[in-house]
Amino acid sequence: MPQRGEVLVAILNDERDFAIHCAKANVDVEIDSDTWHANPEKAAEDNLRDNALEANGWKVLRFTTHQIMEQMSGYTIPTVVKTIKTLGGVNEGGVIPRQIDIDPDRPYQLGLFDDF
């Protein structure tokens, strides 16, 4: 039987759909397909993984197929952007964290030295 730390390492080494490294914490963005999450065992595995990530300082965001396909601009992207902003912007390896702007009057990613 694996020790507690071995299980935690195995969970943390599992693949993530999207990992975003921010100034204050990391974000794991997961896309939950209807097929995968109709299986209670798979959902339970995700719960264990989420708890292990959260216990190690990660923020986990989960989105359903409907939220990706039908609510991308109205819910999904704004939620990810708000989380990134709350966590101090994207950490680019020692460079000043980059903030993200989704203002419709400025439909582009801010450059590293752009004002926001």
Domain coordinates in residue numbering, the chain: 4-86
What pLDDT, on the 0 to 100 scale, is given for residue 16? Answer: 74
In which residue are the tokens 């935690």 written? Answer: 8
CA dist list (Å): 9 to 3, 24, 47, 51: 10, 21, 15, 13
- Which pairing describes strands 58-64 and 26-32: parallel, antiparallel, or unpaired? parallel
* 20: nearest Cα among 73, 50, 56, 61: 61
Residue 82, pLDDT score: 94
Q: What is the mean pLDDT of each run of 10 residues along the chain (116 residues)?
A: 44 70 91 80 86 91 92 93 92 63 57 51
